[in-house]
Structure 1
């Protein structure tokens, strides 16, 4: 099992706008993958948005990327979202227990 964690560092003071976009994202674009979750910081670095999704294999992750990120609808949403992002990074973790 692999956990893919996309971590976005948001522009200061923009969380409310991002939250609205996330609600749109959840309705239209977020694949219904059991165990997925969207998190925000409580301590540590501020204005972080973390999206986590579990995948049985790296192949399953690659397939999900191709199916979702290539759609015009997702591309249109992402243009709106990325203007609120200062930087981001991705972690792919292997669950051992």
Structure 2
């Protein structure tokens, strides 16, 4: 099992705008939100972070998800609205061992 975390450092004061965009994306089913997917925000540490976390059985499954979902024109339009709110981002790929 692999856990993928996409971590976005939001610009100061942009959380509400981003949350509205994410809510819209979930409503329009632009993001996979199965039982293994979670959206998190910071409680301590760096402020104004938004973290998307998903689990996959294999890295091939993760790659398939990337190419299928992110390749859609509707998702690309949404992401163009999302990007101006982001200061930086990075991805963690973790392997579950227990």
Q: TM-score, normalised by structure 1?
A: 0.97
In the alignment, does 2:53 pair up with 1:52? yes
Aligned to 2:77: 76
Unmatched runs of 5 consecutive residues or more in structure 1: none
Offset at residue 43 of structure 1 (A): 0.3
Q: Contact conserved, 1:33 with 1:54, CA < 8 A, in 2? A: no
Aligned to 1:15: 15
Offset at residue 25 of structure 1 (A): 1.3
Q: Contact conserved, 2:11 with 2:85, CA < 8 A, in 1? A: yes
**Number of positions where the alignment pairs a residue of Structure 1 with one of Structure 2:** 97
Aligned to 1:38: 39
- Give the RMSD, CA atoms, in angstroms: 0.7
Moved over 3 A (4+): none
Aligned to 2:86: 85
Unmatched runs of 5 consecutive residues or more in structure 2: none
